[in-house]
Amino acid sequence: MKFPVPHPAWLLLVTFLCAHAHEVAPAQSPAGPGAMGSALTQAPDGTAYLSWLEPLGDKEWTLKFSRLEAGRWSEPRLIAKGADWFVNWADFPVLTVQKERLTAVWFVNNPASGGHGHHAETYRALHSSSADGGRTWGPPQPVTRESDSVEFVALQPLRDGRLLAAWLDGRNGADGQDHQSLHARMLGEPGPDTLVDDLVCDCCQLSFVPTTDGGALLAYRGRTADETRDMRLARFDGRRWGRPTGLHADGWSIAACPVNGPQLAECGDLIGAVWFTSPDSKPRVLARVSDNAGESFGPVARIDLGRPQGRVDSVMLPDGTFVLVWLEMTGKETGKEGGIYLRTLALDGKLSEPQMLAASSTSRMSGFPRMILTGRRQLLLTYTRDTKPTQVVTLKVDLH
Flag whether 72 is in a domain.
Answer: yes
Residue 26, class by beta-carbon neighbours within 10 Å (0-12 exposed, 13-18 middle, 19+ buried)?
exposed
**pLDDT band at 336, cuts 50/70/90?**
confident
Helix (H, G, I), strand (E, B) or coil at 17: helix
Flag whether 2 is in a domain.
Answer: no
**pLDDT band at 334, cuts 50/70/90?**
confident
Q: What is the pLDDT of residue 175?
A: 62
Q: What is the pLDDT of residue 6?
A: 44
Residues 257 and 83: their CA atoms lie apart, in Å, by 28
Flag whether 79 is in a domain.
Answer: yes
Q: What is the pLDDT of residue 177?
A: 66
**pLDDT band at 121, cuts 50/70/90?**
low
Judged against a pLDDT cut of 50, whether residue 117 lies above it is answered with no
Flag whether 306 is in a domain.
Answer: yes
Judged against a pLDDT cut of 60, whether residue 17 lies above it is answered with no
The answer to whether 183 and 167 are in contact (CB under 8 A) is yes
Structural domain harbouring 21: 8-398
CATH of the domain at 342: 2.120.10.10
Residues 6+ positions from 296 with CB-CB distance below 8 Å: 290
Judged against a pLDDT cut of 80, whether residue 7 lies above it is answered with no
| Mean pLDDT across the chain | 92
Residues 201 and 275: their CA atoms lie apart, in Å, by 14
Flag whether 283 is in a domain.
Answer: yes
Residues 111 and 132: their CA atoms lie apart, in Å, by 32
Judged against a pLDDT cut of 70, whether residue 124 lies above it is answered with yes
Mean pLDDT over residues 54-69, rounded?
A: 97
Mean pLDDT over residues 26-37, rounded?
A: 97
Note the pLDDT tens digit of each residue in 194-249: 999 999 999 999 999 999 999 999 999 999 999 999 999 999 999 999 999 999 99
Percent of the chain with pLDDT over 90: 87
Find the length of the chain: 400
Residues 11 and 383: their CA atoms lie apart, in Å, by 23
Judged against a pLDDT cut of 80, whether residue 114 lies above it is answered with no
Q: What is the pLDDT of residue 13?
A: 38
Judged against a pLDDT cut of 90, whether residue 348 lies above it is answered with yes
The total domain count for the chain is 1
Q: What is the pLDDT of residue 3?
A: 40
Flag whether 1 is in a domain.
Answer: no
Flag whether 264 is in a domain.
Answer: yes
Residues 6+ positions from 202 with CB-CB distance below 8 Å: 118, 119, 168, 179, 180, 223, 257
Helix (H, G, I), strand (E, B) or coil at 14: helix
Flag whether 3 is in a domain.
Answer: no
Residues 108 and 94: their CA atoms lie apart, in Å, by 14
Mean pLDDT over residues 81-89, rounded?
A: 96
Helix (H, G, I), strand (E, B) or coil at 141: strand
Mean pLDDT over residues 260-277, rounded?
A: 98
